[in-house]
Amino acid sequence: MGHGKLRKFAENETFSCLLQPSAEEVLAGGYFNLADHPVKGHWIEQMFGGHKGDIVLELGCGKGEYTLELARRNPDKNYIGVDIKGARLWRGAKTATEEGLRNVAFLRTRIEFITAFFGPGEVSEIWLTFSDPQLRASENKRLSSAMFLERYRRFLRPGGIIHLKTDSRFLYEYTLAVAQVNALPILAATTDLYGRQDIPAAAGVIPVLAEKRLGQKSSGRHSQRSRALPAEVREVQTFYESMFLEMGLPITYLEFCPDHIGPYLNPRDPEDFDSAFWRTLEGPRRSFSHQ
């Protein structure tokens, strides 16, 4: 391990906004019986100094630039960036400390362990920004799969929102299929966030046109709820997002509410989601985006 990483890891220990529980703590009762961390249900008091406000998570936050910018724009809310890479979180935690941002925290843990850290109704929104689409792996590794939605609803308040922003058309279409087979309210959906005027998802226009253009059929199972996109959806960008835009690559965006009674279902392949078809459209840029 290089001296640079060692220095960052040592400095991470000094940041009050960064929580770094050990895996041994979380797994004390085994993988299927995760031990609750003391911060669970107490983020406002323990990590935000009593600063009341909705809690918003960014899962797989990397260096935290998205979490930080959302926090700057919305001082009435509290933002938590989650990632397993300590060297990446160092940048976000250092910036938050230097700027004195009281409504920012970072959590270093595996996202599989997320239920050990948040209590029922404690979180209002989740951002999935440029997550690994896990093209060849089990779908249970995708952060928008039925398995992860089940985890999220344990702490996401009723009416809470999940935002998916990705350059992966594969992951976008997969997540849209998950929302549709579970009849989840879709609030907004576009396959080209910066390339055309907003059209509410309730009209079905954006998904239908996109699928027609690629020779796909629309399922027609879109919710009747819709709303205008918040300005931050376009104006706040990750490092990779800015890079992709400079290259002229499309960015997709999906916003939905995971409220659901009963177990979540994964889409059936290829009836609900043709994984082979969407995989062929992915191209080589996925490996580039995660270097």
Q: Kindly list the catalytic residues.
A: 132
Helices H, strands E: what count in the chain?
12, 8
Which of 158, 145, 128 minimizes the C-alpha distance to 62?
Answer: 128
* Distances 23 to 28, 40, 114, 115 between C-alpha atoms, Å: 8, 16, 12, 13
Residues 6+ apart with CB under 8 A from 19: 39, 47, 105, 106, 107, 108
Q: Residue 13 has what DSSP assignment?
A: T
Task: For residues 279 and 111, give the distance between their C-alpha atoms in angstroms, rounded to a whole number.
Answer: 24
β partners of residue 255: 163, 188
Cite the DSSP H helix spans in 165-249: 169-181, 205-213, 232-235, 239-246
The single residue listed with the structure tokens 């990590």 is 47
**H or E element in which residue 61 lies:** none
Short-list 94, 104, 102, 39, CA closest to 66:
104
SS3 70: helix
> What are the tokens at 114?
């997320």
Amino acid at 181: V
